[in-house]
C-alpha cells in the first residue's frame, strides 16, 4: 500500500486523507493542534457553511483569488459531490439564502466530528499535537516529513494542507509557506482577505454596531473606481465590516500594499435615483417642516448616522427644516448617494477569515494538485494562493483541492 502523509487536519487535509484512504492507501494525518478541524468549528459563525449550490462557473466567479485554476478539481469534486459526501457520513444538509449549504443541525462540530469518525473508520492514523517543520526531499522527490522534535515520517507522497496565516489560534500560522519556500516553491506574499477595514474618520466610532442593509459600496483607488458590492455592512469602533466589506477587502489589501490612496463610497439608497431620492426627501421635509434637521431624517436613516450625514452636507443639525434651501437639499442627496470614507488599513491578517497569497498556482498541476517542481508533493487548501468570497466558496475550494490531492497522490503511481 502507498504510504501517504498529510500535513494539516483542516477541511482540505481531512478530505485529502479520506480520499487517499478510500483508494487503499495507508494514510498518516499530522495536526499540530489538540484536535482536528479547529478553524472549521468557527466557520459560518459556528454553523459551518459547507458549500454553495451555485453552478460551477458561478462558483469559480466567486473565487477571485485564482478561481480559474480550480476549474478542473472543482468539476471533479463539485458542490453536489460535497453534499453527497456529507449526507453519506450522516451529516444531512440544507440550503439557505444565497445558495449557502449548512448542516441541518447548524453545528460546525457535527461536520468536524463526522469527518474525524470517517478518518478512523478508514484506518487513517491521526496524530494531534505534532508540528511538522520540514518536507524531506531526495533528488526532486518528496519522501516524507520531519517534525519539530526530530521525528521523521517516511512517505511515498506528501500532501501539504497547513492552511494560511489567518486565525493563528486555530493553527494557521503560515508554517506551510515556510516549508514550501524552503524547498524552492514561490510563495505569493500573504495578505488578509475577508477582513474588516479601518477608517480614518473619527465619527465612525460613534456608529459602532450600526448595521446597514441594501447599500452599495464602491471601492476607489487614487480616485479611480475599482469595483463595487451590494448588500449588508456594519460600522465598528475602528471602521467597517460585514459581508460586502469583507468581499471588497481582498482588493483593498492589495491596493493598500501597492501604496494607493483608498476610499469607499457608500450609497445609502442605491434603489433610488438622485431625482427619486430628492422627491422622497421633499416628502419628509413637508412632514417635518417645523422640526430641526437632526429630527427630520429619522424615517430615512438610523439615528446615529444622521449627524455625520448632515456634517457631510454642511448643514447644522439644529437648522429648521423649512429654512433649508434647494442647494442644501441637493448637497444632502449627494451625501446620501455617496458618503465617502478613507481606508487607512485592513485589520491584522490574524483577524482575517482567509488569507490571500500562498504557494504560487503556476507551480502546481491544477488537475492533480501535485507540485510541478517536486514529484509526489501535493498542496491543498489555504496554503495555496486561492481565496474566495463568503458564502461557502472557500470550503468548497478546500474540499475540491483536498479530494484531488488525496486521489491523485494514489493514482499517480498507478499511471506510471
In 19-67, the DSSP E strands lie at 26-31, 51-52
Examine the domain organization and report whether 200 and 187 are in the same domain: no
Examine the domain organization and report whether 8 and 154 are in the same domain: yes
C-alpha distances out from residue 187 to 63, 116, 151, 336, 383, Å: 19, 30, 26, 43, 9
Closest of 214, 222, 220, 269 to residue 242, by C-alpha: 214
Examine the domain organization and report whether 154 and 20 are in the same domain: yes
Examine the domain organization and report whether 119 and 22 are in the same domain: yes
Residue 13 grid coordinates:
487535509
Closest of 19, 20, 24, 21 to residue 1, by C-alpha: 24
Environment class of 141 (CB within 10 Å of its CB; exposed 0-12, middle 13-18, buried 19+): middle
- Tell me how many domains the chain contains: 2
pLDDT of 171:
75
What's the whole-number mean pLDDT along residues 61-70?
A: 96
Query: 240: domain range?
Result: 196-346
Residue 177 has pLDDT above 80, yes or no: yes
Examine the domain organization and report whether 144 and 290 are in the same domain: no
Closest of 342, 328, 391 to residue 63, by C-alpha: 391
What's the whole-number mean pLDDT along residues 91-110?
A: 97
- At 45, which CATH number? 3.50.50.60
Examine the domain organization and report whether 87 and 234 are in the same domain: no
Examine the domain organization and report whether 71 and 51 are in the same domain: yes
Examine the domain organization and report whether 362 and 314 are in the same domain: no
Domain finish residue from 324, 346, 368: 346
Closest of 126, 113, 116 to residue 27, by C-alpha: 126
Closest of 186, 248, 185 to residue 220, by C-alpha: 248
Domain finish residue from 305, 320, 346: 346
pLDDT of 1:
62
Examine the domain organization and report whether 75 and 128 are in the same domain: yes
Examine the domain organization and report whether 158 and 14 are in the same domain: yes
Examine the domain organization and report whether 181 and 204 are in the same domain: no
Model pTM? Answer: 0.91
Percent of the chain with pLDDT over 90: 93
Environment class of 344 (CB within 10 Å of its CB; exposed 0-12, middle 13-18, buried 19+): middle
Domain finish residue from 346, 380, 400: 346
Examine the domain organization and report whether 341 and 371 are in the same domain: no
Q: What is the pLDDT of residues 133-160, one digit of tens each?
A: 999 999 999 999 999 999 999 999 999 9
How far apart are the C-alpha atoms of 348 and 195, rounded to whole Å?
8
- At 330, which CATH number? 1.10.8.50
Residue 170 has pLDDT above 80, yes or no: no
pLDDT of 413:
56
Amino acid at each position: 500500500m502507498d504510504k501517504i502523509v498529510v500535513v494539516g487536519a483542516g477541511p482540505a487535509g481531512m478530505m485529502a486523507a479520506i480520499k487517499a484512504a478510500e483508494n487503499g492507501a495507508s494514510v498518516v494525518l499530522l495536526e499540530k493542534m489538540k484536535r482536528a478541524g479547529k478553524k472549521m468549528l468557527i466557520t459560518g459563525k459556528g454553523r459551518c457553511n459547507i458549500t454553495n449550490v451555485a453552478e460551477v462557473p458561478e462558483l469559480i466567479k466567486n473565487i477571485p483569488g485564482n478561481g480559474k485554476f480550480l476549474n478542473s478539481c472543482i468539476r471533479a469534486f463539485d458542490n453536489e459531490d460535497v453534499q453527497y459526501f456529507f449526507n453519506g457520513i450522516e451529516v444531512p444538509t440544507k440550503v439557505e439564502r444565497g445558495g449557502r449549504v449548512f448542516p441541518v443541525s447548524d453545528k460546525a462540530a457535527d461536520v468536524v466530528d463526522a469527518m474525524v469518525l470517517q478518518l478512523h473508520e478508514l484506518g487513517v492514523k491521526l496524530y494531534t499535537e505534532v508540528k511538522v517543520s520540514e518536507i524531506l526531499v531526495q533528488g526532486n522527490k518528496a519522501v516524507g516529513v520531519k517534525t519539530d522534535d526530530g521525528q521523521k515520517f517516511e512517505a511515498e507522497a506528501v500532501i501539504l494542507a497547513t492552511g494560511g496565516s489567518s486565525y493563528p489560534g486555530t493553527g494557521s500560522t503560515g508554517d506551510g509557506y515556510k516549508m514550501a519556500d524552503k524547498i524552492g516553491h514561490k510563495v505569493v506574499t500573504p495578505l488578509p482577505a475577508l477582513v474588516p477595514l479601518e477608517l480614518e474618520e473619527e465619527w465612525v466610532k460613534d456608529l459602532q454596531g450600526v448595521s446597514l442593509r441594501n447599500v452599495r459600496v464602491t471601492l476607489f483607488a487614487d480616485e479611480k473606481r475599482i469595483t463595487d458590492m451590494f448588500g449588508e455592512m456594519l460600522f465598528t469602533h475602528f471602521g467597517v465590516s460585514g459581508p460586502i466589506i469583507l468581499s471588497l477587502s481582498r482588493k483593498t489589501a492589495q491596493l493598500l500594499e501597492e501604496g494607493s490612496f483608498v476610499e469607499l463610497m457608500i450609497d445609502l439608497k442605491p434603489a433610488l435615483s438622485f431625482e427619486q431620492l430628492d422627491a422622497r426627501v421633499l416628502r419628509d421635509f413637508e412632514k417635518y417642516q417645523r422640526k430641526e434637521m437632526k429630527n427630520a431624517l429619522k424615517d430615512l436613516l438610523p439615528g446615529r448616522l444622521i449627524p455625520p450625514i448632515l456634517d457631510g452636507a454642511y448643514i447644522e443639525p439644529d437648522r429648521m427644516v423649512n429654512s433649508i434651501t434647494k442647494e442644501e437639499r441637493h448637497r444632502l442627496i449627494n451625501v446620501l448617494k455617496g458618503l465617502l470614507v478613507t481606508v487607512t488599513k485592513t485589520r491584522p491578517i490574524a483577524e482575517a477569515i482567509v488569507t490571500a497569497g500562498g504557494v504560487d498556482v503556476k507551480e502546481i498541476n491544477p488537475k492533480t494538485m501535485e507540485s510541478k517542481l517536486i514529484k509526489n508533493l501535493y498542496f491543498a487548501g489555504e496554503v495555496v494562493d486561492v481565496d474566495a468570497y463568503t458564502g461557502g466558496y472557500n470550503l468548497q475550494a478546500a474540499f475540491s483541492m483536498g479530494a484531488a490531492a488525496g486521489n491523485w497522490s494514489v493514482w499517480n503511481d498507478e499511471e506510471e
